[in-house]
Structure 1
Amino acid sequence: MERMLATPADAEIILKLYQLRTETLMREARAWMTGEFWPNTPEEFFAVAQNPADPHNAFFRQVVTYWEMGAAMVLHGAVSAELFVDCNAEGFFILAKFSHMLEAIREKMPTFMNKTSELVNRFTAAAARYEAVLKNVEARRRALTAK
């Protein structure tokens, strides 16, 4: 990726994205998604992701669509890819968290985390960030399994 300076408008978008992440319900949804939801099988994943009756389904949808929106902004040129990647790891964390069953997920949900995946495939900095996060996620999954 060619290194480019971010603009003040890019910085405003990043700050707005951060501000949205601090909203009370969003913080609760993110805490659940990153800390509590660790499905081991596609069935466990779909029990929440495709079940509107599950009390955490809205949290799941809120967090995934938030990060996909951010990735789409980068892909469409609305915000600097380098700045976005430097300031955000959570979207990559979520993609990495489900990487062990991503193929099965996309059989039923073909667009699941597509924008974040495209970001990883298109930008070297995003790929490097994803790989670093993936190692952490794999270690966390092993620790959870060992309990």
Structure 2
Amino acid sequence: MGEKQEDANLILRLYEIRRDEAMRRARVWFLMDFNPENIQDIMQALFGEHSADFRMVASYWDMAATFVNYGAIDEQMFNDINTEHVGIYAKLQPFLAELRALPGAPPYLYLKNLEPLIQRMPDAEERIAAMRRYMKRRNEASTGAATS
């Protein structure tokens, strides 16, 4: 099997993990319902009922980024196939310095491996901004639908 096929197989295996029911629920919560405005919102998630969801999603994407950073998965292929990791980063990026400062914070909490992967994207700032706009519109549409 060629190198690109091996990369594709690893990406498919990562996708299979995302399909796990607990992971799917955690991802929906993180992407749809978790909208941190400050570090306190993150701390509330970490120590509240969604602690496992937060940790599952953050550690999953940091792990996936680690595979890319170490060359186990082709970076361009990974970034061309996935967008969710940009959304995870876009939500937490404003608070990463504060998360890093927490005593004993595990590296996945401040996206130790995901951050450099995102920052290496040639269009990183635009992708992050576009993802934030998309999530904001989606959240507004969801909120509007819920109140109608």
- What range is the shorter-chain TM-score in? 0.7 to 0.9
TM-superposed CA distance for 1:127, in Å, is: 5.9
- What is the correspondence of 1:1-147 to structure 2 with a 5 Å cutoff? 7-49=4-46, 51=47, 54-108=48-102, 109=105, 111=107, 112-124=110-122, 129-137=127-135, 143=140
Identity %: 30
Question: What's the TM-score once normalised by structure 2's chain length?
Answer: 0.79
Unaligned runs of 5+ in 2: none
Where do 4+ consecutive residues of structure 1 move more than 3 Å? Answer: 125-132, 137-141
Q: Number of residues paired by the alignment?
A: 138
TM-superposed CA distance for 1:41, in Å, is: 1.5
Question: What's the TM-score once normalised by structure 1's chain length?
Answer: 0.80
TM-superposed CA distance for 1:63, in Å, is: 0.5
TM-superposed CA distance for 1:16, in Å, is: 0.7
Tell me the SS of whatever aligns to 1:55. coil
Aligned residues of 1:97 and 1:137 also touching (Cα < 8 A): no
Tell me the SS of whatever aligns to 1:31. helix
Residues 97-117 of structure 1: CA deviation (Å, up to 9, x unaligned): 123333222222473112111
Say what the alpha-carbon RMSD is for the aligned residues. 2.6
Tell me the SS of whatever aligns to 2:37. coil
Q: 1:44 to 1:131 in 2, by over 3 A?
A: closer
Q: 1:6 to 1:19 in 2, by over 3 A?
A: same
Unaligned runs of 5+ in 1: none
Q: 1:127 to 1:9 in 2, by over 3 A?
A: farther
Residues 33-57 of structure 1: CA deviation (Å, up to 9, x unaligned): 11111121211211122x2xx2210
Residues 87-106 of structure 1: CA deviation (Å, up to 9, x unaligned): 11111101101233332222
Question: In structure 2, how many angstroms separate the alpha carbons of the residues matched to 1:125 and 1:14?
Answer: 22
Q: 1:96 to 1:115 in 2, by over 3 A?
A: same
